Amino acid sequence: MNRKVAVVGAGSWGTALGVLLAEKGMNVSLWARREECVREINEQRSNSHYLPDIVIPENITATGDLEAAVKDKEMLVLAVPSQAVRQVLRQMAPVLGDQLAVINTAKGLEMETGLRLSQVMMEELPGPLKQRVAVLSGPSHAEEVSRHLPTAVVATALEKQVAEQVQDLFMAPSFRVYTHSDLTGVELGGALKNIIALCTGISDGLGYGDNTKAALMTRGLAEMARLGVAMGAELMTFAGLAGMGDLVVTCTSMYSRNRRAGIQLGQGKKMPQILKDMGMVVEGVKTTRVAYRLSRDKGVEMPITEEAHQVIYEEQNPREGVANLMLRDKTEEWR
Amino acid sequence: MNRKVAVVGAGSWGTALGVLLAEKGMNVSLWARREECVREINEQRSNSHYLPDIVIPENITATGDLEAAVKDKEMLVLAVPSQAVRQVLRQMAPVLGDQLAVINTAKGLEMETGLRLSQVMMEELPGPLKQRVAVLSGPSHAEEVSRHLPTAVVATALEKQVAEQVQDLFMAPSFRVYTHSDLTGVELGGALKNIIALCTGISDGLGYGDNTKAALMTRGLAEMARLGVAMGAELMTFAGLAGMGDLVVTCTSMYSRNRRAGIQLGQGKKMPQILKDMGMVVEGVKTTRVAYRLSRDKGVEMPITEEAHQVIYEEQNPREGVANLMLRDKTEEWR
């Protein structure tokens, strides 16, 4: 297969996916926002800020011109932060036409609207492309994918045929892609898991152990699934790679910015300072706000998300947050 | 509540649970197999081999006399290795009578019979006690429980009332106990997760990353659930504390002997040598054998367990095992 592909966004994940596709022999057009990043990729074959130690293959060409990057490409891969998806699509829409698939890889919900990103895409993409929206998700740290460590993810789309094209596009010996039929569930799994990653980070920052973390992850996945089902997702999706799998990897790895931000919260640092020092987007912070609002709207009980919201936005002491969770009335596990 | 309680087995978990109950004000009779362990607990108030750095409270009395330990106690807690459960029960059965609950905390399946441990208990316990079999399970490293790090577990039994008594027995500010109605699922979750912990250990030993581990855990939980449902368990149990929760903690913590054994396998060491050097029971080794046999008998597809069986018992190269899993035909996630 030798598709003409554009990857929009040259952060860690966009770069890693671009490298993966280039190694499969494709010519990849990679859009980067910052001019010095474009230059570094094209001239030095590296992207040192986001993916140090990786050599960028010659068949990747970086550009700062979004329209030129995506024009006449068969497959588009979006790898920009969640809150930038709408704006980037709006900007590229005029030159889009008969793409086979527009694949989002960001994990979040739109802050103002609470929409899933595929819904944002359908609002912004021109006519026939609305039906060719796809999502790639699952437990996949960019750093590890670029080092060819075995990884398994899911591809989903409105139409099965599109999901299968995405599967074919990315499938590689160390990168196993399963198709999945539940677009809503896959997107919510990827977005909501960042809230729980923040919370397990807080727990780690407070000095709690693996037991605490496992309990937060398990009960966290349960409340993710509750909200998901209320929003039309299938329960089983949350037990899969885009749910549990992504949750596990995000909660246990130091690569996760959400977890690292949580650790600092647990150690007593304040949120605005943490975000300033990290200098990268921490998706879970905004997702917590959106999910908290959604849980209220839908009447879904989400005790962990609620405590996270209090800690992030109301300056609640995180140790009290954990105590609140531990001291609820005794009960059955699945009620 | 001031129950007379016996804890049978003074390994890490038996000791930690004894300490938890003693701290709730109960008088605990703790049976240890080795005479020097009995003496160390009673005279030095420590159990340095299994739970270093913990002071054993004065209201724990250790004894090497099994019958004396359990006689006239209202609640019995079993904390011996899986393969010793039948023999220990047989030895104590003559002095048992009107206990309120006999609670197993070991996680495994009986090697010769493939039985769950509650089934073994029902075979060996005298008349009315057969209905008072209970199980405590979930993500709970002994070392962390003894340090009061927040922990959440499940209690299950044949009869709801017995499960609630177990919940009341153990519930503490840092130790949250949920009741659960699916005895079969809770037991299988606790037993089968050790296979996957061995496998993620192998993956770590081979130098693979968090992506690989998350994929193994997710697909591993799926095959645990498949076997479980075929044996009468409820699917949702595997998404709970006794399934996913325990799996997560066992696969990510260095406390897990199963994981540590797997790491050494991945690094190229042979199984008999690993077991000899560790000098403690590694439950997952025997569980792999039993589960492999069960999956054959029931016609349940368990590709990860199958590869684990090949690596442990047939000296297959572990790197080939992972490659076999990655290169299967492309497919949907839930088929």
Confidence of residue A282 (pLDDT cuts 50, 70, 90): confident
Radius of gyration from C-alpha coordinates of chain A: 19
Residue A72 CA to residue A253 CA, distance in Å, equals 38
Placement of tokens 């049976």 in the chain = B31
Inter-chain Cβ pairs, chain A and chain B, closer than 8 A: 192
Structure confidence at residue B321 (pLDDT): 86
Of B71, B73, B130, B193, the active-site residue reads: B193
Whether pLDDT at B280 is above 80? no
CA distances from A171 to A21, A23, A205, A296 (A): 9, 12, 37, 39
Q: Which of A141, A173, A215 sits opposite B209 (nearest CB)?
A: A141
Closest chain B C-alpha to A143 CA, distance in angstroms: 10
Residue A266 CA to residue A264 CA, distance in Å, equals 5
SS (H, E, C) chain B: CCCEEEEECCCHHHHHHHHHHHHCCCEEEEECCCHHHHHHHHHHCCCCCCCCCCCCCCCEEEECCHHHHHCCCCEEEECCCHHHHHHHHHHHHHHCCCCCEEEECCCCECCCCCCEHHHHHHHHCCHHHHHHEEEEECCCCHHHHHCCCCEEEEEEECCHHHHHHHHHHHCECCEEEEEECCHHHHHHHHHHHHHHHHHHHHHHHCCCCHHHHHHHHHHHHHHHHHHHHHCCCCHHHHHCHHHHHHHHHHHHCCCCHHHHHHHHHHCCCCHHHHHHHHCCCCHHHHHHHHHHHHHHHHCCCCHHHHHHHHHHHCCCCHHHHHHHHHCCCCCECCC
- Closest to A136 measured CA to CA, from A9, A27, A45, A229: A9
Both B166 and B251 in a single domain?
A: no
Q: ipTM of this model?
A: 0.92
Both A65 and A143 in a single domain?
A: yes
A217 neighbourhood in chain B, CB within 8 Å? 244-245, 248
Tell me whether residue B246 is annotated as binding. yes
Q: Can you tell me the mean pLDDT for B31-48?
A: 97
Placement of tokens 């495994």 in the chain = B108
Q: Can you tell me the mean pLDDT for B39-61?
A: 96
B111-122 pLDDT tens trace? 999 999 999 999
Instruction: Write out the two tokens for A224.
Output: 């993710």
A223-260 pLDDT tens trace? 999 999 999 999 999 999 999 999 999 998 888 889 99
Residue B85 CA to residue B97 CA, distance in Å, equals 18
Structure confidence at residue B285 (pLDDT): 93
Structure confidence at residue B279 (pLDDT): 81
Whether pLDDT at B1 is above 70? no
Closest chain A C-alpha to B333 CA, distance in angstroms: 5
Structure confidence at residue A230 (pLDDT): 97
Whether pLDDT at A321 is above 90? no
Inter-chain touch A240–B222, beta carbons under 8 Å: yes
A253-281 pLDDT tens trace? 888 889 999 999 999 999 999 999 988 78
Both B101 and B64 in a single domain?
A: yes
Q: Can you tell me the mean pLDDT for A31-41?
A: 97
Among B160, B181, B202, the domain-final residue is: B181
**How would you classify the pairing of strands A60-63 and A101-104?**
unpaired
Indicate whether B334 belongs to any domain: no
Confidence of residue B335 (pLDDT cuts 50, 70, 90): low
Among B149, B164, B181, the domain-final residue is: B181
Task: Reduce the DSSP state of residue A256 to 3 states and report it.
Answer: coil
Indicate whether A332 belongs to any domain: no
Name the residue in chain A with its Cα closest to that of B186.
A333
Both B157 and B194 in a single domain?
A: no
Inter-chain touch B238–A238, beta carbons under 8 Å: no
Fill in the DSSP letter of residue A111.
T
Both B246 and B160 in a single domain?
A: no
Q: Is B13 on the interface with A (CB under 8 A)?
A: no
Among A181, A202, A220, the domain-final residue is: A181
Indicate whether A334 belongs to any domain: no
Q: Can you tell me the mean pLDDT for B272-284?
A: 88
Q: Which domain holds residue A303?
A: 184-326
Both A101 and A150 in a single domain?
A: yes
Both B100 and B200 in a single domain?
A: no
Q: Can you tell me the mean pLDDT for A274-292?
A: 91
Structure confidence at residue A335 (pLDDT): 56
Whether pLDDT at A140 is above 70? yes
Q: Is B254 on the interface with A (CB under 8 A)?
A: no
Structure confidence at residue A1 (pLDDT): 63
Tell me whether residue A205 is annotated as binding. no
Instruction: Write out the two tokens for B71.
Output: 């006689």
B172-206 pLDDT tens trace? 999 999 999 999 999 999 999 999 999 999 999 99
The pLDDT mean for chain A works out to 94
Indicate whether B332 belongs to any domain: no
Name the residue in chain A with its Cα closest to that of B240.
A218
Q: Is B330 on the interface with A (CB under 8 A)?
A: yes
Q: Can you tell me the mean pLDDT for A113-133?
A: 96
Instruction: Write out the two tokens for B249.
Output: 């903690």
Residue A324 CA to residue A335 CA, distance in Å, equals 19
- Closest to B289 measured CA to CA, from B135, B82, B6, B123: B82
* Contact present, B201 and B266 (Cβ < 8 Å): yes
The H or E element that residue A155 is part of is strand A151-157
- Closest to B205 measured CA to CA, from B136, B144, B263, B289: B263
Both A156 and A108 in a single domain?
A: yes
Whether pLDDT at B282 is above 90? no
Q: Can you tell me the mean pLDDT for A150-159?
A: 96
- Closest to B210 measured CA to CA, from A144, A11, A147: A144
A326 neighbourhood in chain B, CB within 8 Å? 150, 152, 173-174, 176
Confidence of residue B325 (pLDDT cuts 50, 70, 90): confident
Indicate whether A333 belongs to any domain: no
Confidence of residue B23 (pLDDT cuts 50, 70, 90): very high
Identify the CATH number of the domain in which residue A310 sits: 1.10.1040.10
B223 neighbourhood in chain A, CB within 8 Å? none
Indicate whether B283 belongs to any domain: yes
Q: Can you tell me the mean pLDDT for B43-57?
A: 96
Q: Which residue intervals of chain A are DSSP H helices?
A: 12-23, 35-39, 66-70, 85-92, 117-124, 142-146, 160-170, 183-205, 210-230, 246-252, 257-266, 271-278, 283-298, 303-313, 318-326
Structure confidence at residue A177 (pLDDT): 96
Inter-chain touch B211–A144, beta carbons under 8 Å: yes
Indicate whether A335 belongs to any domain: no
Q: How many domains does chain A have?
A: 2
Structure confidence at residue B323 (pLDDT): 82
Placement of tokens 């069960």 in the chain = B294
Q: Can you tell me the mean pLDDT for B114-140?
A: 96
Confidence of residue B256 (pLDDT cuts 50, 70, 90): confident
Name the residue in chain B with its Cα closest to that of A139.
B211
Whether pLDDT at A41 is above 90? yes
With b for 16 or more beta-carbon neighbours within 10 A and e for fewer, the B215-240 pattern comes to: bbbbbbbbbbbbbbbebebbbbbbbb
Q: Is B183 on the interface with A (CB under 8 A)?
A: no
Residue type, A76: L
Identify the CATH number of the domain in which residue A33 sits: 3.40.50.720
Both A191 and A176 in a single domain?
A: no
Task: Reduce the DSSP state of residue A180 to 3 states and report it.
Answer: strand
B138 neighbourhood in chain A, CB within 8 Å? 215
Instruction: Write out the two tokens for A37.
Output: 């990043």
End-to-end CA distance of chain B: 50
Q: Can you tell me the mean pLDDT for B79-103?
A: 95
The pLDDT mean for chain B works out to 94
Both A125 and A100 in a single domain?
A: yes
Both B240 and B122 in a single domain?
A: no
Both B56 and B20 in a single domain?
A: yes
For B124, counting Cβ atoms within 10 Å of its Cβ (0-12 exposed, 13-18 middle, 19+ buried), the class is buried
Indicate whether A35 belongs to any domain: yes
Whether pLDDT at B329 is above 80? no
Structure confidence at residue A55 (pLDDT): 97
